[in-house]
Amino acid sequence: MPRIRQQNVLAAQWAPNGAALGAPDLTVADNQVFGSSVFSPTVQRQRLPREVFTRLQQTLARGEALDTSLADAVALAMKEWALERGATHYTHWFQPLTGSTAEKHDSFYAPTGEGTALAEFSGQELIQGEPDASSFPTGGIRATFEARGYTAWDPTSPAFILENPNGAVLCIPTAFASWTGEALDHKIPLLRSMDALSKSAIRALRLFGDSDSQRVFTTVGPEQEYFLIDEQYYFERPDLITTGRTLFGTKPPKGHELDDHYFGSIPERILAYMLDTERELAKLGVPVKTRHNEVAPNQYEIAPVFENSNVGSDHQQLTMQVMQNVARRYGLVCLLHEKPFAGVNGSGKHNNWSMGTDTSHNLLDPGDTPHDNLQFLFFCAAVLEAVNKHQGLLRASIASAGQDHRLGANEAPPAIISVFLGAELEKVFGAIERVEAHESTPGSFLGLGTPVLPPLPLHGGDRNRTSPFAFTGNKFEFRALGSSQSLSLPNTVLNTIVAESIDKLADELENELQKGTDLESALRPILQRTWTANKRIVFGGDNYAEDWHTEAERRGLLNLRATPDALPYLVSDETTGLFSHYGVLSERELDARHDVFLEQYVTKLNIESETAASIARTALLPAAARHLSMLLEAQLPELAQETAELVEEFTQAIHALESVNLAENQPHEPVAHAEYMRDEVIPAMAAVRTVADKLERIVADDLWPLPKYSEILFIK
């Protein structure tokens, strides 16, 4: 049997692992594992003295700092709970600007001097840690020789236990700041932005007569797409190991043209993996709701229910970590790259975002009463204005090298930011603009032109899967995030820009109300002006169509196709002023992020280009040469000529790629360097791949050194 066929047979073999979960009786309380590894409010209530628990909850509700005595009591209870669960160490679990999570483990145990050890954990150790911060990206906030950084406990995101076959560790979600107090992570700006939006939204709610709500929370519900492939193929692909995506590979004869994978029956091996992953996430309190096959072969999706944006972002980082860890138990590798296979649908993350009060009212729910309709239209209009005004910043918040392969590729929204409202909501805003009563479709509603607002429907139109920012009944779905991306920056941006728009509309409404105008009469002209000024951002058609690009340009919308095009909006004067005004990120913190993202873009593409050149020269070119030699020996001149021409073209393309990869040929200034990678390196990589993929179709199967898409994507 040829070597490659033997590999396929081995990869296709699978048996349930030795630690199979089985099917426990879920009506038995002991079999309910949700939150069992979380130091949740329920656990806190059981373990903390009543007075301490009450003070802790009140402190969290008011957003105040914990005093030392309270922290000591919490630390003691947390330590005892963790020890009972086998945790010998604790870590401040944080999210540096790498996009992943970081941790440094410290033991609970300290020697007593009598040959024994005592488990200790103080409130000070709980509240603050000091990891060596010297190697984390800072964008110039710290000099490279400065190592001090601080982690600070985030009590609003519960601590949890990560289990290992040989023990466990207590993980304490924390913020990460420099010695001078500047944010070095994604959590601090997110928390600041949530506070900013809450203040703005509460102020607006007071104008609508809501005196009960004291805080507004933003919520997220991320739908995570991912690929699962057999680990044998993963470890036979140096490009997958090094870059997370295949740098070579021709489109297989069968892809997802038949739509036979989407929502199909989940293969046994994959379902076993999913069940195991969901059980691990349930222990960690991650409320996973949905699982299914996605469009591309070997592509899947997992989605939780809505949570507070901060906790939801932490849980999303945990979800990606657990998914990748559990996959190895089943001989699989979980791929989170946005475009691991060229010509095949990539993976994104749909960020379902909304605003809700501490009295359980969703501000983006049209509601059941005319008063609710008015309030909903106010907040909906604020979102429209925010997205229109800051479309470039929103695009920058999701920019990365991986995203540039996916956005606009007909499995993801284009790089043009637009909003889908649905036909009915568009009619309502149109009627408001024209100051006329609007007769809706049968069984629906009347528009704001009437003296009294009837109820708006929850679903005012079909969904639009091509829209990057779509209203879906009681939330907006920011569909353009990348699969591997942290939720924190896009949600930080959303919260901040919407806070600004809410304040602007609230200023206008407050001025009218102070004149003695009734609420509806005061609100109508504000909604008119807002819709007229921002309706260009609303588009309900096919975002994939080429005609939309022309139309979007006519409307004056941005089309930022690549990361270097988008990142300048992160540090524009408008962005700097906005984030400074709301205390979310200072100019220095924004500049730092801009520098870090540029560096990451350049570094990732440099890794890809050098890997591509190495594989092409040392693996693919020799295979093609052997095939050519075989054809010449077999006296097949026509086939040999075809191969020889491709080998010559391939050699020239490799030399061109190696030339642009040389450090002396590349600029050193960060922006120019990023543009060089976009304009010179990426095309050179593409040229090498184009020839390599042609060679893959003609070189003898047993000579081609890389597993092919037809094997990787269809062996489950």
Confidence of residue 123 (pLDDT cuts 50, 70, 90): confident
3-state helix, strand, coil split of the chain in percent (to 5) is: 50, 15, 35
Distance in angstroms (rounded) separating the CA atoms of residues 616 and 648: 13
Confidence of residue 61 (pLDDT cuts 50, 70, 90): confident
Q: Is 533 exposed, middle or buried (0-12, 13-18, 19+ CB in 10 A)?
A: middle
Residues 6 or more apart whose CB falls under 8 angstroms from that of 466 comprise 413, 542, 543, 544
Higher pLDDT, 700 or 118: 700
Half-sphere exposure of 582 (CA within 13 A, CB side): 31
Judged against a pLDDT cut of 50, whether residue 551 lies above it is answered with: yes
CATH-assigned architecture of domain 193-597: 2-Layer Sandwich (3.30)
Contact 96, 102 (CB under 8 A): yes
Q: What is the pLDDT of residue 442?
A: 42
Topology match between the domains 34-185 and 598-712 = no
Of the chain, the percentage scoring pLDDT greater than 70 comes to 90
Confidence of residue 709 (pLDDT cuts 50, 70, 90): very high
Closest alpha carbon to 604 in 337, 232, 210, 220: 337
Sign of CA pseudo-dihedral 136, 139, 145, 146:
negative
Judged against a pLDDT cut of 80, whether residue 535 lies above it is answered with: yes
Confidence of residue 264 (pLDDT cuts 50, 70, 90): confident
Pairing verdict, β 87-93 and 105-107: antiparallel
Closest alpha carbon to 362 in 350, 374, 372: 372
pLDDT in tens, 322-339: 999 999 999 999 999 999
What is the residue extent of each domain of the chain?
Answer: 34-185, 193-597, 598-712
Higher pLDDT, 367 or 523: 523
**DSSP state letters, 169-237:** EEEEEEEEEETTS-B-BSHHHHHHHHHHHHHHHHHHHHHTT--S---EEEEEEEEEEEEEEEHHHHHT-
Q: What is the pLDDT of residue 11?
A: 73
Distance in angstroms (rounded) separating the CA atoms of residues 357 and 202: 9
Q: What is the pLDDT of residue 449?
A: 43
Class of the CATH domain delimited by 34-185 = alpha beta
Residues 6 or more apart whose CB falls under 8 angstroms from that of 291 comprise 266, 274, 278, 300, 301, 302, 303
Q: What is the pLDDT of residue 446?
A: 38
Strand partners, 176: 151
Assess if CATH 1.20.120.1560 describes domain 598-712: yes
